[in-house]
């Protein structure tokens, strides 16, 4: 039996969710299963190609809902989980007992583990480290910005490789390892070590690049990386450089989109009052209340810049009641 697992690509929580779901399925649902993994990315155009739902069962973790009749399992924790009201209604009418949603969870990994335990009796003590770190990383629960930027822990090093590494199909290959091996053992493998070293140097350089380009006004950091070959960067760098900031807004390029990232500073004592997912939804994006993103077509740089300027100005103002 083939199970196709779709997951949020180039995301530690996405890969960890797929790993925990795989262990849950093999332990608590069915043992004779062959897993296949496909990463999903937020795009300005169509998110799902239903032709790829080629498993006897198909699952999505840590990504938006799809109303395809081919979708068997679904887990997500984002406020912006539904593309349309019709998708939300479709989910609400589902009676399969295999589709789950709870935006109160900081990570989808912890959500999958909790559902598996509470509804199916799934236990995997050896996955506790993976589940804990997915919750820390996706929920930005580091003690301070410096800890987040220094990336000293194995899980943080692996996050850098997954999120900023070359687009060479690494996450699908890592998922079975995350399901069965310790994080330190994975990080010390030759493949990950080889990928991490140049990415670490690039990360250190990105701190200088953002320091040069970013400006903080009225508690909002903004920078534009579209002219640079700098697809990924640590979202915590703005708060490391500007601890007084409450929000950050940036524009960055990639081969398949121009991305606006919007975040809030977890370490600033001033409360972040704006709901960033709601703001991003107005531009076709989404996320969580404290972090969100918007995808534009690769060539739509000026549209992205216009939207980013509007968001910056909105975040400078007090949130509406």
* CA–CA dist 71, 50 (Å, integer): 9
* CA–CA dist 165, 179 (Å, integer): 20
Contact 274, 319 (CB under 8 A): yes
pLDDT, position 126: 97
* Side-by-side strand order, sheet with 2-8: 34-40, 2-8, 57-61, 73-76, 99-101
Name the residue ranges covered by the structural domains of the chain: 2-187, 214-316
Alpha carbon 34 to its chain's center: 25
Global confidence as pTM: 0.88
Q: What is the pLDDT along the chain (321 residues), one digit of tens a residue?
A: 999 999 999 999 999 999 999 999 999 999 999 999 999 988 766 678 888 999 999 999 999 999 999 999 999 999 999 999 999 999 999 999 999 999 999 999 999 999 999 999 999 999 999 999 999 999 999 999 999 999 999 999 999 999 988 877 899 999 999 999 999 999 999 999 999 999 999 999 999 999 999 999 999 999 999 988 777 789 999 999 999 999 999 999 888 889 999 999 999 988 779 999 999 999 999 999 999 999 999 999 999 999 999 999 999 998 765
Structurally, at CATH architecture level, domain 2-187 sits in: Alpha-Beta Complex (3.90)
Contact 19, 130 (CB under 8 A): yes
User: Taking Cα atoms as reference points, which of 256, 193, 247 lies closest to residue 223?
Assistant: 247
Contact 294, 280 (CB under 8 A): yes
Largest Cα separation within the chain, whole Å, is 57
Q: 287: exposed, middle or buried (C-beta count within 10 Å: 0-12, 13-18, 19+)?
A: buried
Q: In the structure encoding, which two tokens stand for residue 9, read together?
A: 């690509």
CATH class of domain segment(s) 214-316: alpha beta
* CA–CA dist 5, 112 (Å, integer): 13
* CA–CA dist 280, 79 (Å, integer): 11
Contact 211, 201 (CB under 8 A): no
pLDDT, position 119: 97
Spatial neighbors of 252 by CB under 8 A, at least 6 apart, are 225, 226, 230, 231, 232, 233, 258, 259, 261
H or E segment to which residue 99 belongs = strand 99-101
* CA–CA dist 255, 318 (Å, integer): 36
pLDDT, position 45: 63
Contact 20, 130 (CB under 8 A): yes
Strand, coil or helix: 262: strand
pLDDT, position 37: 98
* CA–CA dist 124, 74 (Å, integer): 20
**212 Rama sector, left if φ>0, alpha if ψ -120 to 50, beta otherwise:** alpha
pLDDT, position 105: 98
* CA–CA dist 248, 220 (Å, integer): 5
Taking residue 52's Cβ as centre, other Cβ atoms within 10 Å add up to 14
């Amino acid at each position: 039996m083939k199970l196709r697992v779709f997951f949020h690509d180039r995301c530690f929580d996405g890969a960890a969710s797929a790993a925990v779901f795989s262990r849950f399925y093999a332990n608590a649902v069915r043992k004779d299963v062959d897993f296949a993994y496909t990463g999903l990315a937020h795009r300005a155009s169509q998110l799902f190609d239903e032709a790829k739902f080629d498993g006897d069962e198909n699952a999505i973790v840590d990504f938006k809902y799809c109303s395809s009749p081919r979708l068997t399992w679904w887990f997500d924790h984002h406020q912006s989980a539904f593309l349309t009201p019709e998708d939300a209604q479709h989910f609400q009418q589902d009676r399969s007992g295999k589709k789950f949603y709870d935006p109160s969870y900081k990570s989808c990994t912890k959500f999958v583990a909790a559902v598996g335990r509470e509804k199916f009796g799934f236990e995997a003590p050896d996955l506790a480290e993976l589940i804990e770190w997915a919750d820390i990383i996706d929920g930005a629960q580091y003690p301070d910005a410096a800890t987040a930027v220094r990336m000293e822990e194995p899980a943080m090093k692996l996050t850098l490789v997954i999120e900023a590494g070359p687009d060479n199909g690494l996450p699908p290959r890592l998922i079975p390892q995350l399901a069965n091996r310790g994080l330190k053992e994975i990080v010390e493998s030759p493949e990950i070590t080889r990928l991490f070293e140049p990415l670490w140097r690039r990360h250190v350089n990105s701190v200088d690049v953002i320091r040069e380009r970013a400006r903080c006004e009225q508690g909002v950091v903004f920078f534009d990386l579209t002219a640079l070959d700098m697809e990924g960067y640590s979202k915590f760098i703005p708060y490391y450089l500007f601890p007084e900031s409450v929000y950050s807004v940036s524009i960055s390029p990639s081969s398949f989109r121009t991305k606006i990232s919007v975040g809030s500073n977890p370490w600033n004592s001033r409360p972040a009052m704006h709901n960033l997912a709601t703001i991003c939804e107005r531009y076709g994006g989404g996320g969580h209340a404290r972090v969100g993103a918007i995808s534009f077509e690769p060539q739509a740089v000026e549209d992205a810049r216009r939207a980013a300027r509007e968001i910056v100005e909105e975040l400078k103002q007090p949130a509406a009641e």
